[in-house]
Amino acid sequence: MQYLSLAPSEALRPWVRCCWTLEDAAPSGPATIVPDGCAELVLHLGHLPRRRAAGPATVAPRAFLVTTVDRPVTLHPDGPLCVAGIRFEPGGQRPWFPAPLHSLGDGVEVTALLGEGRTRRLLERLSDAATPAVRLAILETTLLRWRQPDRLATGPEHAIRRLLAESHTLDGATIAERTGLSQRTLQRLARERLGTGIKRIARVFRFQRAARRLVAGAPVSLTRLAADTGYADYPHMARDFREFSGQTPAGLLAGRAPIGEAFLRDGVGMP
């Protein structure tokens, strides 16, 4: 398997975490992609795997805006994979996809948002790219060309993300006070732009910090890991692991598939 990611240029940094490309000639069974609070544009250039977020697995669309920001997604590939993607910062999809995130369910086919012609041309350019690096450059230039200028002002989602990155113990009332928003407005904006409520997105961020440290390879006890990443104790952390990955911390560490691990290890811009 080959996974390559590219940090965004300065012009895209407030909204985009990275562009990435993945190729795997022989995927080894199902792969669980754990949530990180980010919407993601996923473009399948070859075989279409089956995908399960909630309910039964279905064949993944060719071009899909993934809006499952707070639940795991399982891929079931039964053929070679060639995929390109754009991982937005939490709330960062708005200059390209302004629809309220919570209204899109687990995601939406990109043709419904960008039109069939633009989507087809992007897929053709990516498929014709000579190397993964060229693919990444195409994604970057496409983002620069397609962004909507009237939506480029950084909104409250950026302040919310920064506050949650600074501390994993802030509650909704404190964030509302620091951003100058009422709690009702804060919760509404969180659902519209981040896809879920403030408390839940904070839990996802905390889980990601713990999960990334767990797979990084540095030896640490699970009790110490829980304390270092803001959990009250190990059972508290284990509950989040079961909810956001479907496994205990030890199970995630032992059973991780290469595809899922590649996304988890990729800490570009991670809060």
Residue-level pLDDT, tens digit, the chain, 271 residues: 899 999 999 999 889 999 999 999 998 888 889 999 999 999 999 999 999 987 889 999 999 999 988 999 999 998 999 999 999 999 899 999 999 999 998 899 999 999 999 999 999 999 999 999 999 999 999 999 998 776 666 677 777 877 777 766 677 888 888 888 898 998 898 899 899 988 898 899 999 999 999 988 777 899 999 999 999 999 999 999 999 999 999 888 887 777 888 888 775 444 4
Locate 188 and state its tokens: 């509404």
Nearest to 32 by CA among 266, 208, 264: 264
Burial of 87 (0-12, 13-18, 19+ CB in 10 A): buried
- The dihedrals phi and psi of 244, each to the nearest 5 degrees, come to -95, -15
Nearest to 66 by CA among 94, 49, 98, 88: 88
Q: What is the pLDDT of residues 117-154, one digit of tens each?
A: 999 999 999 999 999 999 999 999 999 999 877 666 66
| Identity at 26, one-letter amino acid code | A
Dihedral angle over CA of 267, 265, 211, 248, nearest 10: 160
77: DSSP letter? -
